[in-house]
Amino acid sequence: MKEHSLELSLLLAASRLELDSQAESLLCDFAAEIDWTILVETAYAQGVTGLLCSSLLKMPETLVPEAIRSGCHGHLQQRESTNHALADQLCLILAALEAAGIKAIPFKGPTLAMTAYQNISLRTFLDLDFLIHEQQIQPCLDKLRELGYVHEWRLSPKQWQVFLRYAGQDILFGKGAPIEPHWAFAPRTLSLDIDYAGLWQRTIQKSFNGHSILSLAPEDELLVLCIHGCKEKWSQLKWVVDVAEFVRHHPALYWESLISRAEAQGLARMLALGLGLARYLLNAPIPRPVIQWLEKDRYALRWSENLAARFFDEREETSRSIYALSWFHWAMRERIGDRWRYLFHTLTQPRVQHFVDIAFPDSLYFLYTPYKLIHDYLLLPIWLWVKACHRGTKAQKATEAADVNASR
């Protein structure tokens, strides 16, 4: 947090439901120095505009410019309207699936806005996610197609079979927001050993938006939030806030059970990193015994401290595809077998982009693996290098031309 540290410090202090006293102190002491454009743009990029607006409206009116206060009111009203519409869309989908005998567990999105933020307008989300049983993938997709949700591409039978095995989710488009039915919380390439059977057994019924819906047990939901953050390399503050606010609003979590399950599934480091970031960045109320458990994994502790210290810095890792080899994803696995499976699957698994690039018949599907290796690790790097050189040449010519014009 080197550049614009004042704005970033204010954003961290304001990105929580219970306003940190530091936020008002910063405004009192440095109101004239705050770059409001930087603050708002960073909040949009980090997915925390709802919390920022809510916090600023709690401040004394003299500390926040009237134009900013007005913008905050308008943004929260628009976000509330949009999120309620998305909650209605989600409930209609869940009801249609339930009528067809298909169980679905919504997560993130509008349901998380209520369980973690207690207010549907305070969390930003652009799509609707829900988990289904793997054996119900095709019936679910058929039902969603009846409701008007479709893919943007076509695959052969073999390609479709492979896609279902590695992707863990689909994305469909129709009326309203895109929807993402999941049968796994991460693609097979990440090699996560999640106990889905146990997760489904622990589901609970809860009231949401006037409907009774299936929900993850709180401990499972918190673990899923940490898995998601690690999957996305914690590239947005929103995902850290999710963890911090979820912990704040669930003071009776069964921490021993949560930690035991995470360790049994090789997900303890992901859990530790998520909790560590929430603690360092947002002062999440992590119980002392859990902090002592976090500190046992020196690797996770060091990652937490380093990521928190440079959270807003540009990180090359965060811009890379989840399907590209990542030192971060390798380091987040505490079991060596999971690491090597991650390496193997990521290197060799052909994906939809390869199926779209070249149409091998299903009988020659095996050719996609060498095609992926040649395309991803030989041809693509060469093309990117040539493109970078071309940009550099053009920039140099433009500079030389400017120098010539300036000397006239």
Q: What confidence category does residue 393 fall into, taking pLDDT thresholds of 50, 70 and 90? A: low
Q: What confidence category does residue 392 fall into, taking pLDDT thresholds of 50, 70 and 90? A: low
358 contacts: CB under 8 Å, gap ≥ 6 = 371
Q: What percent of the chain has pLDDT over 70?
A: 94
What pLDDT digit, counting tens, does each position of 332-385 carry? 999 999 999 999 999 999 999 999 899 999 999 999 999 999 988 888 788 878
Asked if 86 and 74 count as a contact pair (C-beta separation under 8 A), the reply is: no
Task: Give residue for tokens 């999957």.
Answer: 231
Check residue 152 and give its pLDDT: 78
Check residue 398 and give its pLDDT: 54
Check residue 30 and give its pLDDT: 86
**3-state DSSP assignment of residue 359:** coil
What tokens does 199 get? 């997760």
378 contacts: CB under 8 Å, gap ≥ 6 = none
Q: What confidence category does residue 404 fall into, taking pLDDT thresholds of 50, 70 and 90? A: very low
Asked if 4 and 38 count as a contact pair (C-beta separation under 8 A), the reply is: yes
Looking at residue 376, the DSSP 8-state letter turns out to be I
- Taking CA atoms, 385 is separated from 188, 245, 283, 317, in Å, by 30, 43, 43, 18
This prediction has a pTM of 0.91
In angstroms, rounded to a whole number, what is the distance separating the alpha carbons of residues 27 and 14?
11
**3-state DSSP assignment of residue 309:** helix
Helices (H) and strands (E) in the chain, counts: 20, 5
Q: What confidence category does residue 403 fall into, taking pLDDT thresholds of 50, 70 and 90? A: very low
Strand pairing partners for 143?
Answer: none
- Of 148-162, 222-236, 259-273, least confident by mean pLDDT is 148-162
Q: Is the pLDDT of residue 160 over 50?
A: yes
What pLDDT digit, counting tens, does each position of 5-55 carry? 899 999 999 999 988 888 888 888 888 899 999 999 999 999 999 999 999
Spell 321-337 as b/e; 16+ CB within 10 A means b. eebeebebbebbbbbee
Q: What confidence category does residue 226 fall into, taking pLDDT thresholds of 50, 70 and 90? A: very high
Of 168, 158, 167, 172, the C-alpha closest to 127 is 172
Please give the radius of gyration of the chain, using alpha carbons only, rounded to the nearest integer. 23
What tokens does 55 get? 């916090």
Asked if 302 and 261 count as a contact pair (C-beta separation under 8 A), the reply is: no
- Arithmetic mean of pLDDT over the chain: 91
In angstroms, rounded to a whole number, what is the distance separating the alpha carbons of residues 75 and 26?
23
Check residue 402 and give its pLDDT: 46
What tokens does 366 get? 């095996």
Check residue 219 and give its pLDDT: 98
What pLDDT digit, counting tens, does each position of 87-126 carry? 999 999 999 999 999 999 999 999 999 999 999 999 999 8
Q: What are phi and psi of 213, to 5 degrees?
A: -130, 160
